[in-house]
Amino acid sequence: MPGMGRLNGKVALITGAARGQGATEAALFAAEGARVFLTDVLDQDGAATAAAVGGSYRHHDVADEAGWRETVDWVVAEAGRLDVLVNNAGIFRVVPMLDTTVDLWHRIMDVNALGVFLGMRAAAPAMVASGGGSIVNISSIAGMHASPTAFAYGASKWAVRGMSKSAAVELAPSGVRVNSVHPGIIDTEMITEVGDDWREVLTPRIPLGRPAAAEEVARLVLFLASDESSYCTGHEYVVDGGIIA
Ligand SMILES: NC(=O)c1ccc[n+]([C@@H]2O[C@H](COP(=O)([O-])OP(=O)(O)OC[C@H]3O[C@@H](n4cnc5c(N)ncnc54)[C@H](O)[C@@H]3O)[C@@H](O)[C@H]2O)c1
């Protein structure tokens, strides 16, 4: 029903939104009344997703510093404001520490960690100019405990968790909230990196007995993006079906 959305009047930028969790968040946010802006490096999927949810798409590699300025300028030029940033783009590789090359380390840190830092730095001033905002950084349960099979990925997701806390304290006086979300095993393209048998391999570790649908993460991200979470900043929000370690 128009006028009743939980993100009514808000302008949201979601990275890595061509598919998976980002695309689901874009659809849910739009259904809740937000104007949504999507970025990704998968341009065909990105344009199709944006068209399907009634949003706008732009190519942007989150590790590209100049591209962040252009992306925030694009949103503000189109919509006049920026209220929500979801730093969702990420890459995942199953490689243990002893096999991790410096190249792999840099590639994963550039997208998953540097991309989040650049996004917060570029978006925060536009949010302050809009009277405040909410930044939701997508980490992982790999940023809550050990990640022995995906070493660089785990390091990048702990970096997201740590910088979210620091940014939350820095930006709180300006009315910008920052939180991290820590999904467990989510049924998207990414998890197939574990192998074709990922469902059989990983499900026994999940107390709720199943992987999550992207929608189940998106509903938590929606809460953090909306004013319903007005007193929440600087913390970790886990959505993992009860995984202990
Ligand atoms: N699927 C899971 O089990 C799981 C668990 C925990 C956390 N996560 C995190 O959730 C987020 C979303 O992942 P997903 O599950 O939807 O996987 P996904 O692979 O379907 O989506 C990731 C998206 O990010 C985009 N992307 C990759 N590199 C990019 C770059 N440099 N610039 C811009 N976009 C880029 C991809 O093209 C893709 O559209 C990621 O940060 C991921 O690390 C996923």
What pLDDT score was predicted for residue 245?
75
* Average pLDDT over the chain, rounded to an integer: 97
Helix (H), strand (E) counts: the chain: 8, 7
Active site (annotated) includes residue 57? no
**Residue recorded with tokens 């998106």:** 218
Q: pLDDT class for 161, splitting at 50, 70, 90?
A: very high
Average pLDDT over residues 80-109: 98
Residue 2 has pLDDT above 90, yes or no: no
**Tokens 């706008």 correspond to what residue?**
56
Specify the amino acid at residue 128: V
- Residues 21-66 have pLDDT tens digits of 999 999 999 999 999 999 999 999 999 999 999 999 999 999 999 9
Give 138's pLDDT tier (boundaries 50, 70, 90).
very high
Q: Ligand 1: distance of its center to the CA of 22 in Å?
A: 8
pTM, 2 dp: 0.98
**What single-letter DSSP state applies at residue 213?**
P
CB atoms within 10 A of CB 29: 29
Separation of CA 190 and ligand 1 centre (Å): 6
Largest CA distance in the chain: 54
Dihedral sign (CA 237, 42, 57, 113): positive
> How much of the chain, in percent, has pLDDT values that exceed 70?
99
pLDDT digits (tens, 9 = 90+) for 183-195: 999 999 999 999 9
DSSP-derived letter for residue 186 is B
Which letter, b or e, does each residue of 194-205 get, where b requires 16 or more Cβ atoms within 10 Å of its Cβ?
beeebeeebeee
| Amino acid residing at 205 | R
Ligand 1, pocket residues at CB < 6 Å: 15-16, 18-22, 40-42, 61-63, 88-92, 111, 138, 140, 183, 185-186, 188-191
Domains of the chain in start order, with CATH, are 11-239 (3.40.50.720)
